[in-house]
Amino acid sequence: MKNVLILDDDAAFIDTMKASIDTTQYTVVSAGNGEEGLKKLEDFKPDIILLDILMPKMDGIEFLKKLNEKYGEGKTPVLITSNSSSLEKISEGVSLGICGYVVKSNESLQSIVDIIDKTLVK
């Protein structure tokens, strides 16, 4: 069983992703901001992280920096799932070692699930 951590302040996105991900293959845990996400990492070791950029308390980029400081860059695949298509944020994410960047409003839930599956099969 693989572990997925979803960090997003949009509860509807979290709920629909949880409903779309095959729970016979994945355990899914979520958090509403980067601070909560870092706390979840104390007890939950994800195989992939879906990370929103724009969140309260600690945004996705700050979370990614702290994740890299604590565990090392690229140790856990991070797929940014955001409605922000800012080239600055995309390039900052790439420089911090993300495995991909999805603009949520441009993708179906199934395409995000497909990316998770492909990333974890590697």
CATH number, residue 13: 3.40.50.2300
As a whole number, mean pLDDT of residues 7-17 equals: 95
Query: Rounded to whole angstroms, how far apart are CA atoms 109 and 67?
Result: 25
Residues 93 and 73: beta-carbon distance below 8 Å: no
pLDDT at 13: 94
Which residue, among 10, 54, 101, has the nearest Cα to 63 in the 3D structure? 54
Ramachandran angles phi, psi of 77, nearest 5°:
-60, 135
Q: Which region among 39-43, 56-60, 65-69, 81-85 has the lowest average model confidence (pLDDT)? A: 81-85
As a whole number, mean pLDDT of residues 49-62 equals: 93
pTM above threshold 0.85:
yes
Which of helix, strand or coil describes residue 31? strand
Residue 113 DSSP class: H
Judge whether residue 122 has pLDDT over 80. Answer: no
Residues 17 and 63: beta-carbon distance below 8 Å: no
Ramachandran angles phi, psi of 101, nearest 5°:
-140, 120
Average pLDDT, the chain: 91
Residues 77 and 51: beta-carbon distance below 8 Å: no
Q: How many domains does the chain have?
A: 1
pLDDT at 117: 93
As a whole number, mean pLDDT of residues 14-27 equals: 92
Please tell me which residue, 5 or 105, carries the higher pLDDT value: 5
Query: Rounded to whole angstroms, how far apart are CA atoms 112 and 81?
Result: 8
Can you give the residue range of the structural domain that contains 74? 2-121
Indicate the helix (H) or strand (E) that contains 47.
none
As a whole number, mean pLDDT of residues 71-76 equals: 79
Judge whether residue 30 has pLDDT over 90. Answer: yes
